[in-house]
Amino acid sequence: MTSERHEVTDLPSDITRVGVVGCGQMGAGIAEVCARSGLDVKVAETTGEALEIGRTRLQNSLSKAAARGKISEEERDATLARLSFTTDLGEFADRDLVIEAVVENEQVKTEIFQVLDQVTRPGAILASNTSSIPLVKLAVATSRPDQVIGIHFFNPAPVQKLVELIPALTTSEETIKRAEALVQNVLDKHAIRAQDRSGFVVNALLVPYLLSAIRMFESGIASREDIDNGMEFGCAHPMGPLKLSDLIGLDTVASIADSMYAEFKEPLYAAPPLLQRMVDAGRLGRKTGSGFYPYN
């Protein structure tokens, strides 16, 4: 498949009702972006407890945005009013688009897509926020492979401007254009297209860099501070690679690395032993309070 430049679409979006599966860090961020853009958003979680944690995460994020002057208190309240919550995917029957944002596990995602295929109306787009899992595997698990696409946001979703659009081999041009119109013209994000290859554009470039930094630290070449300061002060990166790995989540970094190594068999994609040990120990970065750095 040859590369080509895609012009920004100026089509209006026909998507007004969005479902988000998962209300963790990424799911909550995606839900916030959509609701702040005026869309009706329904968020699903597996349990009532997880749903309440997600609801609180969203409320806190919007309150912080209001406190910083990013949005007004009226906008915060209006955004909250556009959000609803459920533990029943059957309530997604009226959604125009559903974005899955759960754990980076192919079997879990596939099962969710099979359920969504049954409960959503014909014509609804089914999207995944996956960082690395082949979209075609999720597409062929449904009866509508032409309406499945990757819509990959970056953390934190309310702040980061980039969204990767990843069509599977089965995805129709209509689905691509509908997703692109939503991302660019409604959500006000910058969309880039990537082929359905593990890692897509950003992670295919970023993850080998993160893994190289972990190997450098593991081998004792430099301290964690010197590695991060080297990239922050030497290359003007806003965050060093070890701090960034902690922010992303070491389990997520490892999952993306494993997926990329499984597809390409390149040594630079292989997760270092230290990364695997830290994941096994539950030291996943900021979200658990401990990674390459401690977090209080």
pLDDT tens, per residue, the chain with 296 residues? 444 545 555 667 899 999 999 999 899 999 999 999 999 999 999 999 999 999 999 999 999 999 999 999 999 999 999 999 999 999 999 999 999 999 888 999 999 999 999 999 999 999 999 988 899 999 999 999 999 999 999 988 999 999 999 999 999 999 999 999 999 999 999 999 999 999 999 999 999 999 999 999 999 999 999 999 999 999 999 999 999 999 999 999 999 999 899 999 999 999 999 999 999 999 999 999 999 999 98
Here the contacts of 10-13 (C-beta below 8 Å, separation 24 or greater) are 10/185, 11/177, 11/180, 11/181, 11/185, 12/181, 12/185, 13/178, 13/181, 13/182, 13/185, 13/186
Task: Look up residue 144 and give its DSSP letter.
Answer: -
Q: Is 294 part of a structural domain of the chain? A: no
Q: Is 282 part of a structural domain of the chain? A: yes
In terms of residue numbers, what domain contains 274?
203-287
User: Other C-beta atoms within 10 Å of 226: how many?
Assistant: 12
Same domain for 218 and 81: no
Same domain for 156 and 54: yes
Domain end among 193, 215, 236: 193
| CATH assignment of the domain containing 253 | 1.10.1040.10
Of 191, 192, 215, residue with least CA distance to 270: 215
Name the residues annotated as catalytic: 131, 152, 164, 203
Of 251, 270, 292, residue with least CA distance to 24: 251
Distance CA 134, CA 114 (A): 16
Strand ranges for the chain from DSSP E: 17-21, 40-44, 83-86, 97-100, 125-128, 148-153, 162-167, 190-193
Same domain for 170 and 33: yes
What interhelical angle do 273-280 and 250-264 show, nearest 10? 130
Question: How far is C-alpha 79 from the chain's CA centre?
Answer: 21
